[in-house]
């Protein structure tokens, strides 16, 4: 259709891979991305796309196997579970050292300055530093120290940064919200992998659980230690409504339905679970204040915040949801 799009990419951990699918769907329809504002993973994906390296980045993340992912975990014992030097070092190799003002697509990365308790927009200077600061997820990645400022994930104040693109000279605003609640309509797609690959992924999750206590596992059940049980498992792990009981299925006292026990099983996951709940609420305020022309809602429960090994599934999910949202928008024109 040739319309110029101001693209807003929200924060949401691993769900940020869905941004790639949304971008691909937009471009396949002939939309031109005129500017980008991103937060956290939205800033990472947006910055890489603005630099023209998204295809190379996608090729890299989809090639990562079990050992590759474990090698990227540079564990830290201060202000974050992971330093992030290895991950962002590889991104730097892909993108190169480039200033934001030299990008072919105008770009804004949003971070949070804890020292001065304010939102920070990066619209010039090092792209690498801007992406790293915007994606410094509290408790997961260590903060970025810049002068007297301590910079962390922009999602703390603005998980869907629409305001930076409101004054752009684009035909329409498209926002990708990673903290939506439309989980019943959009379950995470299932990607068929060879049995050996599936085994490596399962082993990787178990290893992560041991080295970084994100969650605990026990015969398919998520366990809560000293906490109230809440129904907050990702949709991809939940059974369908009213399943037929099987001999291996855990049952309630009456044996009438499958019990799905889920929720934070460590302090780290509790912090990030709380962070996501806050982002969901903040995103709704941003959407109400500055309604975009097209809103692509990726469900928060599609996957957990940490599940970065589900790149293929999340890219496909982003494309599916973007397709439906754009179909609806185009039908109204």
Report in angstroms the alpha-carbon separations of 181 from 42, 185, 232, 299: 18, 10, 12, 5
Q: Of 113, 139, 153, 168, which one is the catalytic site residue?
A: 153
Closest CA to 135 of 159, 107, 164: 159
Question: Which residues have C-beta within 8 Å of that of residue 291, sequence separation ≥ 6?
Answer: none
153 catalytic residue (yes or no):
yes
Q: Of 40, 134, 139, 236, which one is the catalytic site residue?
A: 40
Is the CB of residue 249 less than 8 Å from the CB of residue 243?
A: yes
Residue whose structure tokens are 């996957």: 303
78 catalytic residue (yes or no):
no
Closest CA to 202 of 29, 9, 65: 65
First to last CA, the chain: 11
Q: Supply 24's token pair.
A: 């691909």
Is the CB of residue 205 less than 8 Å from the CB of residue 310?
A: no
Is the CB of residue 165 less than 8 Å from the CB of residue 109?
A: no
How crowded is residue 288: how many other Cβ atoms within 10 Å of its Cβ? 8
How crowded is residue 114: how many other Cβ atoms within 10 Å of its Cβ? 15
Residue whose structure tokens are 């809560």: 224
Would you name the residues annotated as active-site residues?
40, 153
């Amino acid at each position: 259709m040739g319309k110029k799009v101001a693209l807003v990419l929200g924060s949401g951990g691993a769900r940020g891979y869905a941004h790639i699918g949304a971008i691909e769907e937009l471009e396949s329809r002939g939309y031109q991305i005129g500017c980008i504002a991103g937060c956290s993973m939205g800033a990472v994906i947006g910055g890489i796309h603005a630099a023209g390296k998204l295809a190379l980045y996608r090729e890299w993340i989809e090639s990562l196997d079990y050992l590759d992912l474990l090698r990227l975990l540079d564990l830290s014992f201060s202000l974050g579970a992971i330093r992030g030097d290895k991950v962002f070092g590889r991104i730097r190799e892909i993108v190169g050292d480039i200033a934001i003002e030299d990008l072919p697509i105008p770009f804004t990365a949003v971070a949070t300055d804890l020292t001065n308790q304010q939102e920070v927009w990066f619209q010039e200077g090092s792209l690498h530093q801007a992406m790293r600061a915007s994606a410094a997820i509290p408790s997961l990645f260590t903060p970025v120290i810049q002068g007297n400022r301590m910079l962390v994930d922009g999602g703390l104040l603005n998980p869907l940064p629409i305001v930076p693109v409101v004054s752009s000279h684009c035909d329409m605003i498209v926002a990708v919200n990673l903290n939506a609640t439309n989980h019943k309509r959009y379950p995470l797609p299932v990607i068929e992998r060879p049995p050996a690959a599936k085994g490596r992924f399962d082993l990787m999750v178990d290893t992560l659980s041991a080295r970084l206590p994100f969650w605990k596992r026990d015969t398919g059940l998520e366990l809560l230690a000293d906490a109230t049980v809440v129904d907050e498992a990702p949709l991809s792990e939940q059974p369908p409504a009213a399943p037929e009981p099987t001999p291996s299925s855990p049952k309630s006292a009456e044996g009438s339905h499958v019990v799905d026990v889920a929720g934070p099983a460590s302090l780290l996951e509790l912090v990030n679970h709380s962070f996501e709940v806050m982002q969901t609420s903040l995103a709704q305020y941003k959407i109400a204040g500055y309604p975009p022309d097209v809103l692509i809602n990726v469900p928060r429960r599609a996957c957990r915040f940490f599940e970065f090994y589900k790149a293929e599934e999340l890219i496909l999910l982003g494309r599916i949801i973007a397709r439906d949202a754009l179909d609806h928008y185009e039908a109204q024109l």
